[in-house]
Amino acid sequence: MPELRKDPIVNRWVIISTERGKRPHDFPSPQKRVNSQSCPFCTGNEGLTPPEIQSVRRDSSSPDTPGWSVRVVPNKYPALLNSDDAVTRSGAGDGLFDSMTGFGTHEVIIESPEHDKEFEFLPNPHVADCLQVFQERFLELKKDDRFKYILIFKNHGESAGASIEHSHCQLIGLPIVPELVNEELAGSLRHYEKNERCIYCDLIKLELSDGRRIVTQNEEFVALCPYASAFPFEMWILPVNHNARFENTDEDEFPHLASLFKETILRMKTALGTPPYNFYLHTSPIHGNHNDHYHWHIEIMPKLTKVAGFEQGTGFFINPTLPEEAAEILRNTKI
Amino acid sequence: MPELRKDPIVNRWVIISTERGKRPHDFPSPQKRVNSQSCPFCTGNEGLTPPEIQSVRRDSSSPDTPGWSVRVVPNKYPALLNSDDAVTRSGAGDGLFDSMTGFGTHEVIIESPEHDKEFEFLPNPHVADCLQVFQERFLELKKDDRFKYILIFKNHGESAGASIEHSHCQLIGLPIVPELVNEELAGSLRHYEKNERCIYCDLIKLELSDGRRIVTQNEEFVALCPYASAFPFEMWILPVNHNARFENTDEDEFPHLASLFKETILRMKTALGTPPYNFYLHTSPIHGNHNDHYHWHIEIMPKLTKVAGFEQGTGFFINPTLPEEAAEILRNTKI
């Protein structure tokens, strides 16, 4: 069973994933180039993954057979384990040390049955299906009280941490709320208590009227380069109207999100020459009422620079590109 | 002038280093392989760096000529600028946004005049000289009230962010105390207020009596794999006796630190096959009294895994190697 350990000095948990149990010769583990014959995420190879959790099938095909367009499977090498009898707290810590059973879930959302189809080239309704699958996983996992937070994220490209090239996202369900989300909740609550307004709503209004950091927008969503971008060409996608919880998104909104999300990734790839990148979705924790002050969003980070000793030692980042210039370049990129 | 910007939601500053002004085609900037003829850090090439700030010269050679064993020069591409007339606060922010002049200093400490000499292969007194130069830089920069924090760090190897292979450290003087240091100060203060003891001292006592996470030790210093290591084979070096400030280290202690530091790096390189790595030194901020509760230390991170979407989205890390196993491997490595 993996173990969660808390640093005795700072308020930081780590997952010690002993299932992976890596010894010196196991590093590094480079991305394996596979073709569609041996790729576990390709249609026809359903038997190479653990049994599917969920799928989108327009025909009446059976689980774990071809016929799907989006497919959710357990991660074969999970960072956390979903065991029925796992309690999340192991009880008392040991002196200065505090630990927790590594309970959680780790799923893979395969976006397309085709090996070489990046999601920005899928038809809009297909991407909207992917987004709706995200939503359905949230609604399903929320039924288990032991989950406190669900993170959906993508690693694309080897140096962004992808180990399989076939386009996919990952979902990790956690027994604690991540520190970075807690910081956003605390910051947005401070603003709400002072102004009785959502800070993200204020920010969107300001950015739309200023315009310099906007990448693209439609009636429901906006993509922008944040004022204090930690990384060059960092982008956020936000719903224009207030909504704290991704899973409360209206079905009608997914096609708008699909179209803007695809456009944003395409602009980034075209402007920057298909860099490796990560994105993740920040939304309200499962428990607690953050409905008035928080605002869900997606953060996208092309991997153009290296996180080095300065960033690791301070937690603050050196960004060599002005966000206003990044937005202008992305906005003016012909796609 | 670079600019410091604060995220409007969370308490995070970033350096927007417009001096570097990177546009899409400027990424990535791979490490250039140079030989000792064209390396700006090699002896004989002193003219390729800005004029030196300080050096160790046993002969009576002049600045910016050969004859040095350790040499400190300004970084040619500084993240922050040390300008005499820079005020650190630009005054009022703009609505939700807060910024600051990118005042600071960015120096390079060249550890040896020889191109291929890694610091773990330098004689002990030479490494002790390097450490003493660190101390002298601290004492010198502390005279300027605008500095709030000084970070010394190393990037070794291209994927750890090094752009020049000749062995060197960097020093960045900052107009604010980094968030990660503030978190350590807050955590250690909490422990002090409750127990009237330094948490690092308590931790060292516990670890030395337990032994499972110890890598090596001598009478003055200890190297260990921390209980909640965020990275596989992460190590910390701490002075055994309480000391909040690196710059208060006694001259007699540097040879002990030099010897243990070299041994720790050598164990890591031997066990892991000379991986890229980073280290940084955490010490008290320049201002404020943290003498009783804080304890300076060095954190060393071999770069064996990739920081990906999950880590970026949560701030919490998946470590595939149990710290107790890492310490055992490092301890038993023949060097």
- Selecting among A168, A290, A293, A295, the annotated active-site residue is A168
The whole-number pLDDT of residue A91 equals 47
User: What's the pLDDT band for A11 if we cut at 50, 70, 90?
Assistant: confident
Q: Which residues contact B142 (CB under 8 A, 6 or more apart)?
A: B150, B247, B286
**CA–CA separation, A14 and A51 (whole Å):** 28
From A309's Cα to the closest Cα of chain B, the distance in A is: 5
Are the Cβ atoms of A21 and B321 closer than 8 angstroms? yes
In this predicted structure, what is the pLDDT of residue B141? 96
Q: Is A30 on the interface with B (CB under 8 A)?
A: no
Q: Does B91 touch chain A (CB under 8 A)?
A: no
pLDDT at B32: 60
Taking contacts as CB-CB distances below 8 angstroms, the residues of chain B near A160 are: 306, 308-309
Give the 3-state secondary structure of residue A205.
helix
Q: Do A322 and B16 touch (CB under 8 A)?
A: yes
Whether pLDDT at A90 is above 90: no
Q: Is the peptide bond before A28 cis (omega within 30 degrees of 0)?
A: yes
User: pLDDT, tens digit, for every residue of B17-66?
Assistant: 876 667 787 776 555 667 777 899 999 999 999 999 999 999 999 999 99
Q: What is the pLDDT of residues B289-320, one digit of tens each?
A: 999 999 999 999 999 988 899 999 999 899 99
Report the candidate in A318, A320, A213 with the shortest Cα–Cα distance to residue B21.
Answer: A320
Interface of A with B in 286-305 (CB under 8 A): 299, 301, 304-305
Confidence check: pLDDT of A44 > 60: yes
CB contact under 8 A, B12 and A305: no
Nearest to A322 among B18, B278, B329 (CB): B18
* pLDDT classification of B108: cutoffs 50, 70, 90: very high
Residue in A with minimal Cα distance to B283: A313
Range of weakest confidence among A124-128, A157-161, B148-152: A157-161
Q: Is A228 on the interface with B (CB under 8 A)?
A: yes
Report how far residue B231's alpha carbon sits from residue B318's, in angstroms, rounded to the nearest whole number.
7
Answer yes or no: do A96 and B23 touch at CB < 8 A.
Answer: no
Q: Which of B96, B281, B316 sits opposite A179 (nearest CB)?
A: B316
Minimum-distance CB partner of A178 among B203, B226, B314: B314
pLDDT at A93 over 80: no
What pLDDT is stored for residue A26 in this prediction? 78
Lowest mean pLDDT among B87-91, B112-116, B286-290: B87-91
State the pLDDT at residue A83.
Answer: 77
pLDDT value of residue B94: 66
Interchain contact A91–B (C-beta under 8 A): no
Higher pLDDT, A84 or A126: A126
Q: State yes or no: is B168 an active-site residue.
A: yes
pLDDT confidence band for B91 (50 / 70 / 90)? very low
CB pair distance less than 8 Å for A316 and B7: no
Q: What is the pLDDT of residues A188-220, one digit of tens each?
A: 999 999 999 999 999 999 999 999 999 999 999
What average pLDDT does range A114-137 have in this prediction?
96
Residue A238, pLDDT > 50, answer yes
Is the pLDDT at B92 greater than 50? The verdict is no
- Check residue A92 and give its pLDDT: 45
- Smallest Cβ distance to B203: which of A8, A20, A186? A8
Distance of residue A256 Cα from the nearest chain B Cα, in angstroms: 24
Q: Which one, of B89, B111, B86, lies nearest residue B98 by Cα?
A: B89
- Is A280 close to B188, i.e. CB distance below 8 A? no
ipTM attached to this prediction: 0.92
Show Cβ contacts of residue B193 under 8 Å, excluding neighbours closer than 6 positions: none
A170 in contact with B, Cβ within 8 Å: yes
Interface test with A, best of B22, B25, B269 (most A CBs within 10 A): B22
HEC-encoded secondary structure of chain B: CCEEEECCCCCCEEEECCCCCCCHHHCCCCCCCCCCCCCCCCCCCHHHCCCCCEEEECCCCCCCCCCEEEEEEECCCCCCECCCCCCCECCCCECCEEEEECECEEEEEECCCCCCCCHHHCCHHHHHHHHHHHHHHHHHHCCCCCCCEEEEEEEECHHHCCCCCCCEEEEEEECCCCHHHHHHHHHHHHHHHHHCCCHHHHHHHHHHHHCCCEEEECCCEEEECCCCCCCCCCEEEEECCCCCCHHHCCHHHHHHHHHHHHHHHHHHHHHHCCCCEEEEEECCCCCCCCCCCCCCEEEEEECCCCCCHHHHHHCCEEECCCHHHHHHHHHHCCC
Q: Would you call B309 an interface residue with chain A, using a CB distance cutoff of 8 Å?
A: yes
Q: Is this model's pTM higher than 0.90 or not?
A: yes
Strands A214-217 and A221-224: antiparallel
Catalytic one among B168, B256, B282, B290?
B168
Determine the residue of chain B that is closest to A77 in CA distance.
B320
pLDDT tens digits, one per residue of A55-78: 999 999 999 999 999 999 999 989
User: Across the interface, which of A18, A172, A228 has its CB nearest the CB of B14?
Assistant: A228
Residue A177 near chain B (CB below 8 Å): no
Of B28, B155, B308, the CB nearest to A161: B308
Sign of the torsion angle spanned by Cα atoms A170, A171, A176, A181: positive
On the question of pLDDT at A148 being above 70, the answer is yes
Q: Confidence class of residue A87 from pLDDT cuts 50, 70 and 90?
A: low
How far apart CA B44 and CA A74 sit, in angstroms, is 59
Q: Which residue of B has its CA nearest to A328?
A: B23
